[in-house]
Amino acid sequence: MLLAAFFYATGEVLSFFILQNFNAMVCMLYISVLCTITLLVVKPSSIRKLSFYSKPKFGCTILLITAFDTLATLFVFLAYQAGRNALQIGPLMASQTIVTVLLAYIFLHETDYLPQKILGTITVVLGSILLVS
């Protein structure tokens, strides 16, 4: 999990660096194409699983998730271009933890470790406030 966090944070910082002189939409296109190519090179057998997405129930869900993820990434990229301050924008992105905890509770009825999740959410908010102020 820590390795994933490291790669995610490194990607965010590199995105900020690239977006200083690059269009956000074009950058998203390159990232999407390069991720797809990388996936096919690293795990070519994954192409056989595409039939999963041809089922209407799963295909529509994946399209919805993809649309939300694309919009979220585009908004972050545009925030980087407008604000030019990765140190503030990055921690504010941690506020998605609050939304994730709330939505998981409401829609998925996840109540396991709820006090710890609420405490973690409060910690994220306080940390973001300290970094921004």
What's the half-sphere exposure (Cβ side, CA atoms, 13 Å) at 110?
14
**Rounded mean pLDDT of 2-24?**
83
What whole-number distance in Å separates Cα of residue 3 and Cα of residue 77? 23
- Tell me the per-residue pLDDT of 69-90, one tens digit each, with 9 for 90 and over: 888 888 888 888 887 776 677 6
- Tell me the per-residue pLDDT of 44-59, one tens digit each, with 9 for 90 and over: 888 887 777 778 888 8
**pLDDT of 18 above 80:** yes
Confidence at residue 90, expressed as pLDDT on a 0 to 100 scale: 67
What pTM did the predictor assign?
A: 0.67
What's the half-sphere exposure (Cβ side, CA atoms, 13 Å) at 1?
0
Confidence at residue 14, expressed as pLDDT on a 0 to 100 scale: 84
